[in-house]
Structure 1
């Protein structure tokens, strides 16, 4: 998965898709998010659950443990390793959902530059991405170390022509189970490894190369090239 996505609908559109029965504390606001070309380090809307309450907060895309010495900050975590590796050990229990409208990939097609593609659901519904991270909690103020990573899986089964990794996306029912703190870690691992949505629910098409510049925003970036 390349590091670019769209999150332009309002938070209540994402809440409606999740069909959250719990109380919601929304610090994101009620207006459309208008992130047509979101990149790592941007603050994105993220759902996490504390007790019986679901929170919608703006959290930085990217996280690394305080002891990590490398200068790069991961934005994704491989599903094959995330539950048991030491790097994400402290945040593996802190599950979240990042609801997005689409993501972008770049592919070499013989020209001098890669061609950007947009990937979205065929039914145009929001995409519910499994994530983990460190984010504002009941007892703490926002922290400089807050952040999240999106869990990715091998995209074999229909999307290899676009990219070899893609987000682990969940149905609304599984997304609610993923958010629930009462869901055992073993069950969460099973969902991430085996119960993500299949590739055939997605479609993809070429978009303008302007999406390559993170300063470009706007609905024109998500339109198919004619």
Structure 2
């Protein structure tokens, strides 16, 4: 799954990167995005002729939900079932988005401890997660989810799931709506994912109240006395 990630680029940077026009106040940059936080998303405008940079609550809330709390359980949608899921299929067909990210976090249990790792491109380039959006309630609250797929290569040693990452040449088809699921949901190959590295980071990231670039620093030496055997 993807339960925590970082997205820190400015509104101007996101507009340039995705060729989008901002229509909402930029969600604050975060080095520790948690479920129900506001996050930036790229989606098509109602007229379907332009990309817009919007802000959504992370955790898709289906229209039948009694309140927004339902979204906390729907931060991820499995790519294998998203096209047929009652909760996600309508958005997969008509309301797809891109979720900008710098990287994501997973935890590995080692004895009685859980070590956090940060998966991110080694060269600092941005990522775009495949996402879905919808609106909920009389105030049309915008909510979103991140699609996940099976992890491959060295990343599978960290966790068996990972976000579905879309390279730039696949953004137009993803945002357009329609299309064949088997093509839209094709994961990247191990070779394409080779640029992503897994870095051990400070355990402070485990607390959702902590935020800031210091969370991406290596853990204190005392907390990591021996080299990792994961890679």
Q: C-alpha displacement at 1:141, in angstroms?
A: 8.4
1:208 aligns with 2:205: no
Distance 1:175 1:224 in 2: 33
- Aligned counterpart, 2:129: 129
Q: Is the 8 A contact 2:23 2:53 kept in 1?
A: yes
Is this contact kept in 1: 2:61–2:135, CA < 8 A? no
CA contact (8 A) 2:15 2:21 kept: no
Quote how far apart the aligned CAs of 1:68 are.
Answer: 5.2
Secondary structure in 1 matching 2:157:
coil
**Root mean square deviation of aligned Cα:** 2.6
Dislocated runs of 4+, deviation >4 Å? 68-72, 194-197
Task: List per-residue Cα deviations over 1:82-133 (Å, max 9, x = no partner).
Answer: 01222212211201000111111011122x2210011101221111100011
Provide the aligned length of Structure 1 versus Structure 2: 213
Aligned to 1:49: 44
1: CA distance between counterparts of 2:102 and 2:138? 29
Q: 1:202 to 1:142 in 2, by over 3 A?
A: farther
Measure the CA separation in 1 of the matches of 2:218 and 2:159. 19
1:91 aligned counterpart, secondary structure: helix
- Long gaps (5+) in structure 2: 222-231
Q: Is the 8 A contact 1:25 1:55 kept in 2?
A: yes
> What is the CA-CA distance between 1:64 and the residue it aligns to?
3.2
- Distance across 2 between alignment mates of 1:143 and 1:84: 24
Shift of 1:200: 1.3
Please, which runs of 5 or more residues in structure 1 have no aligned partner?
none
After superposition, where does 1:162-181 map in structure 2 within 5 Å? 162-181=158-177
1:27 match: 24
| Residue of structure 2 in register with 1:190 after alignment | 183
- Conserved in 2, the CA contact under 8 Å of 1:43 and 1:61? yes
For normalisation by structure 1, the TM-score amounts to 0.84
- More helix, by proportion: 2
> What CA distance in whole angstroms lies between the structure 2 residues aligned with 1:141 and 1:102?
34
- Give the whole-Å Cα distance in 2 for the aligned partners of 1:15 and 1:171: 17
**Structure 2 CA distance for aligned equivalents of residues 204 and 194 of structure 1:** 18
